[in-house]
Amino acid sequence: MTDNSRPSDQALLARHVEGDPDAFGEIVRRHRDRLWAVALRTLGDREEAADAVQDALVSAYRAAHTFRGQSAVTTWLHRITVNACLDRARKAASRRTSPVAETERLEQLIEPHESAAVPAERQDLHRELLGALRTLPAEQRAALVLVDMQGYPVAEAAEVLGVPTGTVKSRCARGRARLLPMLTHLRAEDGDKGTSGGGRNRAQGTSVPQTAGPNDSGAVKGGGGRA
């Protein structure tokens, strides 16, 4: 199928509502990697992230008839996924976990193939960054994941999170302020290697340092395209 004949996300969602048995599966194929990346970084737990994405996709499947096209399908899917993650994060916050369990969950964030493909120092950076993110409140973590790690414009992240742009900015600012003491040495190490972070919103010295992460491919970074 050529790009010119490739149906838009919105067209696929309409087909799904009309009864096309394959349309929603194509939407999932286009967006699941990016949804998974957001869920994993927001929750910091592979099983919780997988369950959150599953819950979100089931909700989207059932609620497709309510989509009115006021935002892109990808934004709509991300909003549902982030809400599912925040629900799980709030429930997890009420449960006490041992340091051993926390360490085990952090170790699970490194994909098996990544251990062989990513230099050891990048694995360490990634592990430290994710560990630092886990210290933030879920709402701040979600904002930073979208803006600093996924490259969303603040306005689009606000739409995903369902809050004003000012709220996203303040959550990011508070999150960065809390992370800065823990991540200063990571920023210095990246600077020594001449590494500059990409992304649409990254300003030097203000955003979370970017590291290699699970499913961090072009498909994850760019998503499945906007309808």
Nearest to 40 by CA among 129, 123, 109: 109
pLDDT at 89: 83
pLDDT at 192 over 60: no
pLDDT at 207: 58
What b/e string do you get for 132-171 counting C-beta neighbours within 10 Å, with b at 16 or more? bbbebbbbbbbbbbbbbbbbbebebbbbbbeeeeebbeeb
Q: State mean pLDDT over 190-210.
A: 47
Mean pLDDT check: name the lowest of 100-114, 138-152, 156-170, 173-187.
Answer: 100-114
Mean pLDDT check: name the lowest of 49-53, 74-78, 93-97.
Answer: 93-97
pLDDT in tens, 1-47: 445 678 999 999 999 999 999 999 999 999 999 999 999 888 888 88
pLDDT at 133: 83
**Contact, 136 vs 175, CB < 8 A?**
yes
pLDDT at 83: 92
pLDDT in tens, 105-160: 433 433 433 444 445 555 666 677 777 888 888 899 999 889 888 888 999 999 99
Q: What is the mean pLDDT of the chain?
A: 74
Both structure tokens of 42:
């927001």
Confidence of residue 213 (pLDDT cuts 50, 70, 90): very low
**pTM of this prediction?**
0.62
- Distance CA(139)–CA(89), nearest Å, equals 9
- Residue identified by tokens 């993650």 is 85
- Distance CA(125)–CA(132), nearest Å, equals 11
Both structure tokens of 6:
């490739």
- Distance CA(55)–CA(222), nearest Å, equals 23
DSSP code per residue over 37-52: HHHHHHH--HHHHHHH
pLDDT at 107: 39
pLDDT at 131: 78
- Distance CA(215)–CA(85), nearest Å, equals 18
Gyration radius from the chain CA atoms: 18
Nearest to 206 by CA among 131, 154, 138: 154
- Distance CA(119)–CA(116), nearest Å, equals 8
- Distance CA(119)–CA(189), nearest Å, equals 14
pLDDT at 122: 57
